[in-house]
Amino acid sequence: MFSTIYLHEVKTWFKKPLFYVYAAVLFLLSLLISALAVGVFDSDNVTVTSAIKLNGAVGIYGLLGFFAILTYLLIPSIIGGTIQRDFKNNMHNVLYSYPLTKWNYLLAKFSAGMTMTLLIIIASLIGITLGFYLPGANEELVGPFKIMNYLQPFLVYIIPNVFFYGAIVFAITAFLRNVNIGFMFVLVMIILQFAASSSVPTMDDSYWVELLEPTGDSATYNQIKYWTPEEQSTQLIPITGTLLYNRLIWLGISLIVFIGVLLAFNFSQNPTSLSLAKTKAQRVTKKNFGTITKVVMPQATQDLSFFGQLKTAWIIAKSDIAYIVKGWPFIIIASVAFAFSLLTMLITGQQYGTDILPKTWVMLQFAGGIFSTFAYLLIYLYTGLIMDRAKAAHINQLVDATPTRNWTMLLSKFIAMVVMVATILLIVILSGIIIQAYNGFFEFELPLYLFDLYVINIWDFIPWIMMSLLIHTLIKNKWVGLIVLLVLAIGVPPLLGAIGVEQGQFIFNQGAGSPSPSDMNGYGSGLARYFTYRVYWILLGIALFALAVLFYRRGMGTSMKERIAFAKARLSKSIIAVMTVSLLGFFAIGGYMWKVNNIDNEQISGKEQEELRVNYEKELSQYAKAPQPRLVAVNSFMDIFPSTRDFKAGATYTLINQTDVAIDTLHVNYPDRPTEIILDRETEIVYDQEDYDYRMYLFKKALQPGDTLIMKFETENKPNTFFDNNSPVVDNGTFINNSIFPSIGYSDQFEIRNTQVRKKYDLAPKDRLPAPDAPGARDNNYIGGNSDWIDFEATVSTSSDQIAIAPGYLLKEWEEGGRKYFNYKMDSKILNFYAFLSGRYDVKRDEHDGVKLEIYYHPDHDYNVDRMMNGLKDGLDYYNDNYTPYQHRQARIIEFPRTGGGFAQAFPNTIPFSEAIGFIADVDDEDKDAVDYPFSITAHELAHQWWAHQVIGANAKGATLLSESLSEYSSLKVLEKTNGKEQMRKFLKDAMDGYLMGRTVEQIKENPLMYNENQQYIHYQKGSLVLYAMSDYLGDEKFNAVIKRFAEKHQFKGAPYPVATEFVDDIKAVTPDSLQYLITDMFETITLYNNKVKDATYQELPNGKFLVTLDAQVIKYRSNEKGKSVYKNIAGDSLTFTPEGKTKALQSLPLADYIEVGVFGETNEDTGIEKVLYLKKLKVTEISNSFDIIVDAQPVEAGIDPYNKLIDRNSNDNRSKLSEKKLSTDVKE
């Protein structure tokens, strides 16, 4: 009987077009996405590059997992539909009368549904595979075909997950006979999966989440989160640890659920009720025997007028609204999404474990982003449900017979969906306010909530509601309609991008995204552009709505031929007028946008920009070594007009020919805006290419060695329009750096660095930076271009209510013509690196050791100003004591809007600082695990006054070791001095995690620290970790003495500029022979450890002391530039060790390393500081080690490298709680 039912169900599905639609859509979408991923469409689009082979097990896992989520949404239709079909067609009464066993019946039904679902996923897998091998695929992105790379994700993830989702949906449908509830369950589980996945990266201990997240994604994340490109390309995902337990647990839960269905199901005519309240039955007794009751029916009146139809639409909409918002599915989904948003807002927005204040814009950013995804999904789903509602209740023919017009019926659905979205947005407000109140923050800014959500963001959803109405009108199967909408939303945009369509006006409901609010600058200038796009798409939506009216399903005619005939008959003058007006408006606005984007402002596609960069190099790189005069002085002006968002600027450049040859041509890179350049001698423009913004001036008389050239220029922004903003000026908080000014000489910054792209265009391989010993590598510093140290002066003007700031000392301030003017001048030479700022500020002033300190901040952002001021003071103290004297008489921090970026940047004695970092940090002084990052970031940026603005590295590999690494190390030492060494573990652990995560997404190659090519994860995270460790090994005094001597030797020096290898040589010179391996491990190579506590016990000795026995494993290995692990040194030597009971030997590089071993007592509850009982560096020469340590107090925990000073991919196992062991008879006092 099982085989009969199973084969019948499978054959039935094979006869249904629905199965082929599902399979075809997933196949084509998979084919498209995988083809995009391997560059099949590169001829029409920007070149796709990746350091990872996309057909490795990790790549297949990622791609297949994405499409599996779409398939999970189909499970209610397939697995649920398999059993619901009997109820829907009223065949269950007949079937249940047959001598069936429920085991055969249910098992066959479920197995058939599982089979069809897996076949659809197999179609997706085939599409992924074929996409990798289509003509045009980049061979460098595809590795050798290995069947296990495909089988492992399918067997380990797909089948168990489909079984889990299928079992639950099957149970829901079998008992409740409602596929919709099954779909809601799947949606809720997907929300929970996203919640778990987003929380794991922020958790110190995610063990239980990894076990309890049903799909295994969280456990997988922790298995592979530090995998290098090489490992992601070549290795299978290890099914061990929590991932193995997760798979077994959820496979077991799925089996229990299914067996529960088999046991509890009965062949009943009636479904199980979900009602929790029991209704007491009442007996009704007939009393009017023998009489006739006269009933007076009310006189019905019909109002078929336009306003009458609007009223009818609202009445119908209220019924649909109640169906949606009062239904358990919506309540459950909204509740789960609500809980998810609360969780996300609680765990995100942290830096070094410190929260940010829950400002209203923060709540809108996190909660709004979460709920918008759910809102779109619910639009796609609920539009189909309410369109199909009458049919599901078997009253569709009654409804169709009413005199209500088609547009009235559709309008009611539209209103219901808008109200549903408005309800979701209300939940956003509630979740935001709850989080704010929970954190004791009561600046709710309710008007901002309402304006952002109900005046701005709600319009994002309107076009998709209209599109959904049309799709669900044309397609009668709501599940097919859902898939089509998902394809339109997810699949079409990348397809259009693949064929070179990048402008938002050609991609449905895209264009300008909703602008984000800033406390300083509000919504800026983005609202006009945003609403123009919204009106544009809503006009198209109206036309789609009118089209839906024409094809509205009514009556018995269901064939497309009949529906087209009905549509022609319904084509009234009013519909023609609506469609004509809406489409005319749509094309009129579209034409305007096209003019603005492509005629008034040249629109360059990604592909064109790539080719432009290639041609720039091919045509102009021949001039890279052309001698040019050096910039030695800048006298600039900047006029800022906040109210109109305009600027006008200019400068006088003084240039000197410092070469020993005559210069006959001046090469100028000028800004892409109106710019007038005047030279003080007769020249001829012999080359002017606007595509490159590059110009060559031929001197009538060559510039001789030692000659001076004066270059004057003025530049201004292109005119701003209602639709487009062409200026960096904002209403409050303008921040403009000198990149808007012309530069001298050929710049290789515009060249393409990616090896794969260079190969495609026949360009020779080229590193991102030249080697330190390459010819000419030390001629320029890595910031200033064709300049060394310059004299600088600036006059900045702004509106009368603002303060304008530039590097230098304020010499004069005056008002003229209703504007304020500020004249700044440096009293010493600086790098050619400066900025101009303007805003409405409050100012906190102080003085420390003769240095004037100022913080210019938004009046409402005084939360952490004192902390930042302390950062300036403590930083000055430490750097002056340990390095060289501070070169300026002032230090200033200036706040700028978060819409300008979330960073801080150090210019000479002037530090622009985003409102998104530091200013709104919620530092809890009672939380000892949190880091005062307003303080630490301030200390880092102040350190740049030494590491960049005193000592600047050559434009060569390792340059940022001398700036970013040293600045980050310096801020760590300031933090350590303030908080103590014991509190540095959190910071070091975060730095190590940042480095290990960064190397997983390296697109070209990872370099050793001393050869890094401005790779942030190396020079920030790894650099700070390495320098801190070196300080610890050599001692602060000795290490800082090296840094001080290096600074004294190179401060304010020009070419030849210092390189990182010189700094490393200086460290090497003071490093004892026993520690020379550190130079190789930390600076010259990519070296990692796998340190692990295997066992940790203690015994109390008769004298009251404690014997701690620590068994630890130490493995050291190197990594090549792609991340391949190497366990042998250059001579081919390595260590091996085979653990007891194992057959595979462990390998390590030869060891003679000094590694810290520590024993710790109880943590002080008041200070949060653990008691250090023992902490020493011990020499390790073997993989397997045992340490016996005697301590004076009760030990609690022990570890190897307990403070994470060595780079270890799994530092969580470096420590272990101690277990007590009975005293051995041979242990003496």
| pLDDT, tens digit (0-9, with 9 covering 90-100), for 609-638 | 889 999 999 999 999 999 999 999 999 999
Instruction: State if pTM tops 0.75.
Output: yes
Report the chain's mean pLDDT, rounded to a whole number.
Answer: 89
Pick the CATH number of 767-782+948-1085 from 1.10.390.10, 1.10.10.10, 1.10.3720.10, 3.30.70.1070: 1.10.390.10
924-938, 948-962, 1080-1094: least confident range = 924-938
In this model, does residue 281 exceed pLDDT 80? Answer: no
pLDDT band at 352 (very low <50, low <70, confident <90, very high): low
Tell me phi and psi for residue 684, to 5 degrees: -130, 130
pLDDT at position 476? 86
In angstroms, the Cα distances linking 289 to 282, 294, 296, 691 are 20, 14, 20, 97
pLDDT at position 1229? 40
Q: How far is CA 946 from the centre of its chain?
A: 32
Residue range 625-744+784-832, CATH number: 2.60.40.1730
pLDDT band at 276 (very low <50, low <70, confident <90, very high): very low
pLDDT > 70 fraction of the chain, expressed in percent and rounded = 94
Do 625-744+784-832 and 1087-1229 have matching folds? Answer: yes
pLDDT band at 1080 (very low <50, low <70, confident <90, very high): very high
pLDDT at position 865? 95
Q: Which region holds residue 96: left if phi is over 0, alpha if psi is between -120 and 50, else beta?
A: alpha
pLDDT band at 1058 (very low <50, low <70, confident <90, very high): very high
Contacts 24+ apart (CB under 8 A), 234-242: 234/53, 234/56, 234/143, 235/56, 235/57, 235/58, 236/57, 236/148, 236/149, 236/152, 237/57, 237/58, 237/61, 237/152, 237/153, 237/156, 239/156, 242/207, 242/210, 242/211
In this model, does residue 278 exceed pLDDT 60? Answer: no
Distance between CA 686 and CA 697 in Å, rounded? 6
| pLDDT, tens digit (0-9, with 9 covering 90-100), for 31-57 | 999 998 888 887 667 778 888 899 999
Q: What single-letter DSSP state applies at residue 660? A: S
In this model, does residue 275 exceed pLDDT 60? Answer: no
| pLDDT, tens digit (0-9, with 9 covering 90-100), for 128-187 | 999 999 998 888 889 999 999 999 999 999 999 999 999 999 998 888 878 888 888 888
Q: Are strands 630-641 and 787-799 parallel, antiparallel or unpaired?
A: parallel
In angstroms, the Cα distances linking 787 to 666, 704, 762, 769 are 14, 18, 32, 18
In this model, does residue 198 exceed pLDDT 80? Answer: no
Residue 399 or residue 871, greater confidence: 871
pLDDT at position 982? 75
- 247-269 burial string, b = 16+ CB within 10 Å, else e? beebeeebeebbeebbeebeeee
Mean pLDDT, rounded, for 1062-1067? 97
pLDDT at position 680? 94
Query: DSSP string of 740-800?
Result: GS-EES--GGGS---HHHHHHTTPPP--SS--TTSTTTTSSBTTTSSEEEEEEEEEEEEET
In this model, does residue 204 exceed pLDDT 70? Answer: no
pLDDT at position 268? 65
In this model, does residue 1228 exceed pLDDT 50? Answer: no
In this model, does residue 604 exceed pLDDT 50? Answer: yes
Domain extents in the chain: 2-264, 306-600, 625-744+784-832, 767-782+948-1085, 1087-1229
Mean pLDDT, rounded, for 779-786? 89
| pLDDT, tens digit (0-9, with 9 covering 90-100), for 1143-1184 | 889 999 999 999 999 999 998 877 778 899 999 999 999 999
- Which fold is adopted by the domain 1087-1229? Immunoglobulin-like (2.60.40)
Q: What single-letter DSSP state applies at residue 1168? A: -
pLDDT at position 94? 65
Mean pLDDT, rounded, for 504-522? 88
Mean pLDDT, rounded, for 496-518? 85
Mean pLDDT, rounded, for 740-747? 94
CB 586 within 8 A of CB 720: no
